[in-house]
């Protein structure tokens, strides 16, 4: 039994148990137990991984197992992880765990959590598998529940948002499917296994020229690549708290991870040749998202545009194609996942009490709910890159890494991307100043309660993770950086 399979089996088991019960209390205990088990499992996996890695420092992936699934097309369900996937699994577990606490009082809790578990199956499955076909399947599994979760439990223009989000992401996955089939056939239709394609097979450059854009774009849509990011503000604004958390925190990372693992890893030649086009797009994302966030008035829109900016930085760094920048990209994924989840948890908390997300209608919340407000400030500081919190290490690794590239083009883009740190400060401080500080705007807010214990668990959990990463970045960086060597070698071998 491969430990990785547990990541899929536990949520399946949770779904099974949820079917059997109707009482809120049991549902909650199932979810808490399951999420805790997943979190514990991730920690165990990190430890096991580091131990195995110490024994076998050469293998690209560890814990590999394979089950043949559809032999005529050589589709098999193959699992395996390297440092990057382990990090992403850890992130997913943290967010799934905290998300459960953030959706403590959901209507139709049973159905909600059923879809929630299905969503997490998609996410976990995507990160553990190294078979392109299974990867695509899990990707779709993660997308579909999103439609229902937003459409049913959302707020505001939820049907519109759910439709828009699903259609745009489906559009992206159409590109992706074309790309994956292209990879399969042009590499000699032998296997869907990533490692085998990368190491034993070769995709001819003339095919790479169209497959690389297709896959990069396909995943890029999920990574909020400009100009395909508009699903993100509407989708996040309408989604319920835990779904926003999971979506911005983990699902958007599927995009970055996919670009990295599929597009660049399998097609280094095309990445070198065509990377500059996407580099410009991501550069625009970074600055554009930040500028857009400055004038938004809805808290979730601000955060969604800030996600566009931060996720743009992830893709930007991936395309810089050197070890430091790529390490930074993965760290930025972790960091952004944690802090954006924290943001959404807090926004959900505030919205649940004030029933507004318009920053002009709030003020002085620091006085009313000090705990939540302090957490919000911490999230803001992490987002604008305060040393000691996760954002700083990730961004600095990206900037230093990107700057190591020779050539005016990349240098200038890096400098432009650096400018985002100022704009980030502007919108974060504007928001914090408007909603937390100043006199209390609305007297109805005076009697609002501070965070309840379950909300405290979710926010404190995320803050601890952010602080851990901010204080001890070298552990994280090393694990990731070692796993980037194979890809760098492939890129250098071109």
Partner 1 sequence: MEYSILIVITPFLLFLFLGLVGGKLKPNVAGLIGTLGMGLCAVLAYTVAFQYFFNVGKIGESWSQIVPFNFVWLKFTDLLHIDLGVLLDPISVMMLVVITTVSLMVHIYSLGYMKGETGFQRYYALLSLFSFSMLGLVVATNIFQMYIFWELVGVSSYSLIGFYYQKPSAVAASKKAFIVTRFADLGFLIGILILSFYTKTFDFASLTANDAELVTTSFAGGTFMGLSLATWALALIFMGGAGKSAMFPLHIWLPDAMEGPTPVSALIHAATMVVAGVFLVARMFPVYFFAAPDVLTMIAYVGAFTALFAAVIAITQTDIKRVLAFSTISQIAYMMVALGVSEYGGHDGLGYMASMFHLFTHAFFKALLFLGAGSVIHAVHSNEMKDMGNLRKYMPITNITFAIACLAIAGIIPFSGFFSKDEILAAAYHNHPAIFWTLWFVAGLTAFYMWRLYYSIFWNGDKKYDGHHKPHESPWTMAVPLVILAVFSIFSGLIPFANFISSDNMPFYTHIDWKVASLSLVVAVTGIFVARMLYRKASTKPAEIAQKMGGLYTASLKKFYMDEVWGWVTKTVVFRYICEPIKWFDRHIIDGSMNGLAWVTQKSSTAIRGLQSGQVQFYTWFFVAGTLVIALLVLFL
CB 225 within 8 A of CB 315: yes
Tokens (6 digits) for 362: 């709030």
Q: Is 418 a binder of partner 1 (CB under 8 A)?
A: yes
Rounded CA-CA distance 158/117 in Å is: 21
Beta bridge partners of 66: 78
Rounded CA-CA distance 485/322 in Å is: 9
User: Minimum CB separation from partner 1 for residue 332, in Å?
Assistant: 14
> Of 85-93, 137-145, 240-248, 400-408, which part binds partner 1 (CB under 8 A)?
400-408
User: Minimum CB separation from partner 1 for residue 118, in Å?
Assistant: 26
Other beta carbons within 10 angstroms of residue 441's beta carbon come to 18
User: Minimum CB separation from partner 1 for residue 288, in Å?
Assistant: 6
Phi, psi of 106 (to 5 degrees): -90, 145
Could you say which DSSP state residue 358 is in? Answer: B
Q: Is 485 a binder of partner 1 (CB under 8 A)?
A: no
> Of 5-13, 174-182, 188-196, 391-399, which part binds partner 1 (CB under 8 A)?
391-399
Rounded CA-CA distance 240/308 in Å is: 19
Could you say which DSSP state residue 442 is in? Answer: -
User: Minimum CB separation from partner 1 for residue 340, in Å?
Assistant: 19
Beta bridge partners of 358: 298
User: Minimum CB separation from partner 1 for residue 294, in Å?
Assistant: 5
Rounded CA-CA distance 197/74 in Å is: 12
Q: Is 426 a binder of partner 1 (CB under 8 A)?
A: yes
Residue 168: closest CA among 147, 138, 137: 147
> Of 40-48, 86-94, 263-271, 377-385, which part binds partner 1 (CB under 8 A)?
377-385
Rounded CA-CA distance 154/158 in Å is: 5
Q: Is 433 a binder of partner 1 (CB under 8 A)?
A: yes
Could you say which DSSP state residue 449 is in? Answer: -
Q: Is 65 a binder of partner 1 (CB under 8 A)?
A: no
Residue 293: closest CA among 380, 362, 212: 380
Applying CB under 8 A, what is the total number of residues that bind partner 1? 54
Residue 3: closest CA among 41, 32, 33, 35: 41
Rounded CA-CA distance 289/424 in Å is: 10
Q: Is 403 a binder of partner 1 (CB under 8 A)?
A: yes
The correct pick among 91, 379, 477, 480 for binding partner 1 (CB under 8 A) is 477
For residues 217-276, which are near partner 1 according to CB under 8 A? 226-227, 229-231
CB 115 within 8 A of CB 149: yes
Helices and strands (H, E) in the chain, number of each type: 22, 2
User: Minimum CB separation from partner 1 for residue 421, in Å?
Assistant: 6
Could you say which DSSP state residue 494 is in? Answer: -
Could you say which DSSP state residue 369 is in? Answer: -
Beta bridge partners of 75: 70
Q: Is 439 a binder of partner 1 (CB under 8 A)?
A: yes
- What CA–CA distances, in Å, run from 58 to 322, 427, 429? 19, 45, 46
Task: Sketch the per residue contact string, 109 through 148, with partner 1: x for CB under 8 A, - otherwise.
Answer: ----------------------------------------
H/E stretch holding 89 reads helix 83-102
Task: Sketch the per residue contact string, 155 through 174, with partner 1: x for CB under 8 A, - otherwise.
Answer: ---------x--xx------
> Of 38-46, 60-68, 139-147, 413-421, which part binds partner 1 (CB under 8 A)?
413-421
The correct pick among 24, 40, 415, 464 for binding partner 1 (CB under 8 A) is 415
The correct pick among 302, 393, 463, 480 for binding partner 1 (CB under 8 A) is 393
Other beta carbons within 10 angstroms of residue 154's beta carbon come to 21
**Nearer to partner 1 among residue 63 and residue 305 (C-beta):** 305
Q: Is 283 a binder of partner 1 (CB under 8 A)?
A: no
Q: Is 414 a binder of partner 1 (CB under 8 A)?
A: yes
The correct pick among 5, 50, 61, 386 for binding partner 1 (CB under 8 A) is 386
**Nearer to partner 1 among residue 11 and residue 289 (C-beta):** 289
Q: Is 367 a binder of partner 1 (CB under 8 A)?
A: yes
Q: Is 288 a binder of partner 1 (CB under 8 A)?
A: yes
Rounded CA-CA distance 66/64 in Å is: 7
Binding positions for partner 1, rule: CB under 8 A: 164, 167-168, 226-227, 229-231, 288, 291-292, 294-296, 323-324, 364, 366-367, 381, 384-388, 392-393, 396-397, 399-401, 403-404, 414-415, 418-419, 421-422, 425-426, 429-430, 433, 436-439, 473-474, 477-478, 481
């Amino acid at each position: 039994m491969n430990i990785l399979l547990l990541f899929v089996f536990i949520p399946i088991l949770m779904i099974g148990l949820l079917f059997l019960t109707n009482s809120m209390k049991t549902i909650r205990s199932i979810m808490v137990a399951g999420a805790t088990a997943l979190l514990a499992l991730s920690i165990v996996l990190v430890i096991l991984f580091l131990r195995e890695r110490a024994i076998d420092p050469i293998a690209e992936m560890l814990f590999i197992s394979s089950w043949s699934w559809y032999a005529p097309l050589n589709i098999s369900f193959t699992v395996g992880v390297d440092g990057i996937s382990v990090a992403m699994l850890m992130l997913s577990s943290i967010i799934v765990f905290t998300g459960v606490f953030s959706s403590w009082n959901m209507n139709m809790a049973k159905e909600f959590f059923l879809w929630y578990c299905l969503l997490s199956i998609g996410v976990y499955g995507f990160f553990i598998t190294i078979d392109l076909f299974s990867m695509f399947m899990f990707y779709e599994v993660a997308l579909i529940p999103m439609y229902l979760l937003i459409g049913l439990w959302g707020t505001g223009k939820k049907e519109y948002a759910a439709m828009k989000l699903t259609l745009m992401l489906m559009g992206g996955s159409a590109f992706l499917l074309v790309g994956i089939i292209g990879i399969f056939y042009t590499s000699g239709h032998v296997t869907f296994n990533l490692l085998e394609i990368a190491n034993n097979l070769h995709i001819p450059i003339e095919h790479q020229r169209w497959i690389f854009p297709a896959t990069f774009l396909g995943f890029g849509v999920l990574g909020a690549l400009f100009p395909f990011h508009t699903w993100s503000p509407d989708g996040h604004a309408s989604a319920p708290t835990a779904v926003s958390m999971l979506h911005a925190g983990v699902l958007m990372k599927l995009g970055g991870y996919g670009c990295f693992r599929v597009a660049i890893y399998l097609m280094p030649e095309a990445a070198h040749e065509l990377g500059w086009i996407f580099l410009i797009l991501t550069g625009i994302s970074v600055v554009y998202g930040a500028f857009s966030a400055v004038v938004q008035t809805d808290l979730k829109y601000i955060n969604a545009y800030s996600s566009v900016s931060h996720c743009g930085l992830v893709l930007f760094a991936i395309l810089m194609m050197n070890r430091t920048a790529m390490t930074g990209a993965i760290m930025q994924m972790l960091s952004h996942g944690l802090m954006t989840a924290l943001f959404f948890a807090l926004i959900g908390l505030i919205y649940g009490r004030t029933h507004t997300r318009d920053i002009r209608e709030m003020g002085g919340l620091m006085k009313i709910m000090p705990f939540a407000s302090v957490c919000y400030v911490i999230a803001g500081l992490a987002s604008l890159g305060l040393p000691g919190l996760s954002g700083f290490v990730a961004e600095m690794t990206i900037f230093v890494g990107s700057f190591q590239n020779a050539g005016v083009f990349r240098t200038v883009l890096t400098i432009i991307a650096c400018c985002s740190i100022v704009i980030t400060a502007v919108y974060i401080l504007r928001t914090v100043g408007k909603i937390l500080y100043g006199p209390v705007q609305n007297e109805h807010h005076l009697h609002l309660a501070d965070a309840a214990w379950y909300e405290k668990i979710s926010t404190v959990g995320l803050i601890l993770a952010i602080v851990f990463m901010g204080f001890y970045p070298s552990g994280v960086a090393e694990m990731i950086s070692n796993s980037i060597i194979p890809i760098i070698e492939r890129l250098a071998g071109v």
